[in-house]
Structures are given as C-alpha cells and as structure tokens.
Structure 1
C-alpha cells in the first residue's frame, strides 16, 4: 500500500510541477505578445487557457482521491494539501496571463511608450522566473529558498510603481498617450498580481516543509 501511495504521490508532484512550468511560459508569452503587439500570439494564449484549467481539475481530483483512499497523515497530508492549495493559485496565474492577452487584442494602433514597454518586458521576465524558481523550491522541499521569493516580489512591486510613475507622467505630457498609458497600468497590475500569487505558493511550500503558516505578502507590496 505504501509503495502504491508513493508512486501516486510522485505522479501528482510531477503533474503539479509540469503545470507550474507551463504557467510560467504562458505568462512570459503573454507579456511578450503585449509589448510586441502580437495579437495572433495573444489569441493562442486565450485559446489554450482551458488546458491550464483542465490540469487544475485533474490534479484536484487526484488529490481528493488519494486523501480518501490512503488517508495520509503528517508530512504526506501536508504535501497533498500544499498541492491542492497551490494548484488553484497556478490556475489564477493563468487567468492573469489570459487577461494580459485579452488586453493585447483590445489595444488599437495608439502611440506607445518604448521605455515603459521595456519595463513591462523586464517585469514579465522576472515574474516568469519567480514562478519557475518557486516550483523548483517545491521539488527540492526548500523552505528557506521559498522565502527568498518575497524579496523578488518586493522588487517587482518597485518595478510596477515605476511603470505607474512613468505612465502617469507620460499622460500628463501628451494626451495622445492616455490610452496606451492606461493599458500599461492595467498590465503592470496583472503582472504584480501574479507576483503576489507566487509568494502565496512559497507560503504553502514553507507549510509543506515545516507545518507553519507564514505571511510573505506584507502590506507594503502594493501597486495602486
């Protein structure tokens, strides 16, 4: 019975980490589609969103089945609970990527602010890296590593605040930039929210490793 449980848990772990990597790539692709004004790429992201949703449903179903069948306790139970909690967070990240893609399609041929678009690209790279790293920490069962995600999220907050400042200043200087700047603010908010979700997963990794509930999203992580 124990061998079967370990095999199924390993499969569950694999499915979860694979979903994390797919989500990270989707986020990165969504941001790149926006700054490249690639509507075709944005449509692909929207059309493939159901795949992330299906993965979430399958992982949740498998998790509940394992709890009912094996009735795990202590560390085994914490691992399954962590996956149950974190997989829903990954799905919400996918929703934010879809929102970015939707914004890409909505944006029309308006004037652009190259500096801000470069900043958004850097934010997209950073948050995708954060997602990949937090999934690695999950695999390694590394609580201390997971806590470092909070520092990167703080950096992301600072970047988002800079996008906000530059966008607002651009709107003040040139009324023709209002539409573009407003979209930049929205996209920065989506990316920032993904960063917050990443720290949520880090919190569950700490719980998995130690059994302790901690807060890695302090009040200073704001955008607007």
Structure 2
C-alpha cells in the first residue's frame, strides 16, 4: 500500500509539472503575439501568467523536496524527482523570458513603429515547437522525442545570430532606429534563451529515462 501511494504522488507531481508547462507555453505564445500585434492587453496577460508560474514553481518544489525527504526514492524514481526540480526551474525561467519580451513590447510601443529585418514569427514558432516537443517527451516519457528537441536548438541559434547581425547593421545604417533595433535584439535573445530552456527540459527527460547526462554532448556543434 505505501508503494502504491508513492506512485500516486509521483503521478500527481507529473500532472502539476505538466500544468505548469502549459502555463509556460501560453506565456510564450502570448508574448510573441503581443510583440507581433503590439498588444498591450496581451502584455498584461503575460505578466499575470508569469506570476501564476512563480506560484506553481514554489508549490512544485515543495512537493518534490518533501517526496525526496520522506520517501527516499531510488533509481528511476529518484531521477524523475530530480528531473522535475530542474525542469521546474527551466519553466520558471521561460516565464521570465516571456515577461521580458512583453516588457520590450511595451517599450517598442512608445517609439516610432519600424519593421525590423527579423522574422520574429518564425523564431517564435521554432521556440514554441521546441517547448511543445519537450513537454510531449515528458508526457510520453520518451527519450527519443527529447533527442529531437536538442537537435532543433541549432536552428534557433542560427536565427538569433542572423538577427543580431542584421539589427547591428540597421543601427549602423539608420541610427535613428537604434532604440527599436536594441529592443528587437533583446526580443531575439529572449526567444533564443527560451529555446535553450526547452533543450534543457529535453536533457532532463533523457536523464530521467536513460540515466544519462547529455548536457555537453552538443557543445562542439554549437561553437
């Protein structure tokens, strides 16, 4: 009976993590839409959503640490709880980055509108796809799906490098739009960081399932 109860607690922990992941995904989608549409209402929603994510993070951490202390799990159950704690942190940081995009959007709305030479819609789609796939790998407990998330990271890295270069050139060619370009550079960087956190989540799923630490295996390809 105690073992059954423990497995039920693990299932509840996973459900709470998936609910938090859904909040993080909503925050990213709304932040991107807020930026593309210059929507103040969506910016406010992202801020409220980030507050909800912070609350969920505290509750999840408390539950996970309590399970570690009381149940002293072994093997794959221990790895799962440790992965939950790390994934929880990455989801909270995704919320922070989404809020950063919303803040940049508000700043942009105070300046003259200028179409920047960056496909933020494509960057947002890439980051969003990585989060959705990482969450799916967690839901299914499938390390192969998690592998595919880590492979996607190179794509958005390339997009961010191109965006930074194009926006720097814009500043040099049209310095009157420096403020817009600087905000655009920060939005691009935030999307790249969101993708990094999605890759981290995938890495933690791999650790949970395979017991393998693959954090630095892609370091050569990213140089």
- Fold conserved (TM > 0.5)? yes
User: Any gaps of 5 or more consecutive residues in structure 2?
Assistant: none
Asked if the contact 1:110/1:179 (under 8 Å) is kept, the reply is no
Quote the RMSD (CA, aligned, Å): 1.6
Measure the CA separation in 2 of the matches of 1:210 and 1:54.
30
* Structure 1 counterpart of 2:151: 151
Number of residue pairs the alignment of both structures matches? 220
* Structure 2 counterpart of 1:112: 114
List structure 1 segments (4+ residues) > 6 angstroms apart after TM superposition: none
CA positional deviation for 1:166: 2.2
* Structure 2 counterpart of 1:127: 127
CA positional deviation for 1:168: 2.2
Measure the CA separation in 1 of the matches of 2:79 and 2:26.
27
CA positional deviation for 1:144: 2.1
User: Any gaps of 5 or more consecutive residues in structure 1?
Assistant: none
* Structure 1 counterpart of 2:14: 13
Instruction: Classify 1:145/1:53 alpha carbon distance in 2 versus 1 (closer, same or farther; 3 Å).
Output: same
In terms of mean alpha carbon deviation, does 212-221 or 140-149 score higher? 212-221
Asked if the contact 2:150/2:203 (under 8 Å) is kept, the reply is no
Measure the CA separation in 2 of the matches of 1:173 and 1:114.
13
In terms of mean alpha carbon deviation, does 75-84 or 37-46 score higher? 37-46
Asked if the contact 1:30/1:100 (under 8 Å) is kept, the reply is yes
CA positional deviation for 1:66: 1.3
Measure the CA separation in 2 of the matches of 1:183 and 1:140.
38
Instruction: Classify 1:221/1:110 alpha carbon distance in 2 versus 1 (closer, same or farther; 3 Å).
Output: farther
Measure the CA separation in 2 of the matches of 1:46 and 1:214.
33
CA positional deviation for 1:114: 5.1
User: How big is each residue's C-alpha offset from its partner over 1:17-63, in whole Å with a ceiling of 9 and x where there is no partner?
Assistant: 12112201211110110121112211221133210001111111111
Measure the CA separation in 2 of the matches of 1:143 and 1:124.
24
User: How big is each residue's C-alpha offset from its partner over 1:148-186, in whole Å with a ceiling of 9 and x where there is no partner?
Assistant: 112211000111122122222322332232221111111
* Structure 1 counterpart of 2:172: 172
Asked if the contact 1:31/1:100 (under 8 Å) is kept, the reply is yes
User: How big is each residue's C-alpha offset from its partner over 1:89-145, in whole Å with a ceiling of 9 and x where there is no partner?
Assistant: 1101100001111111122232312542xx112111211121111011012111122
Asked if the contact 1:43/1:105 (under 8 Å) is kept, the reply is no
TM-score by length of 2: 0.92
* Structure 1 counterpart of 2:45: 44
TM-score by length of 1: 0.92
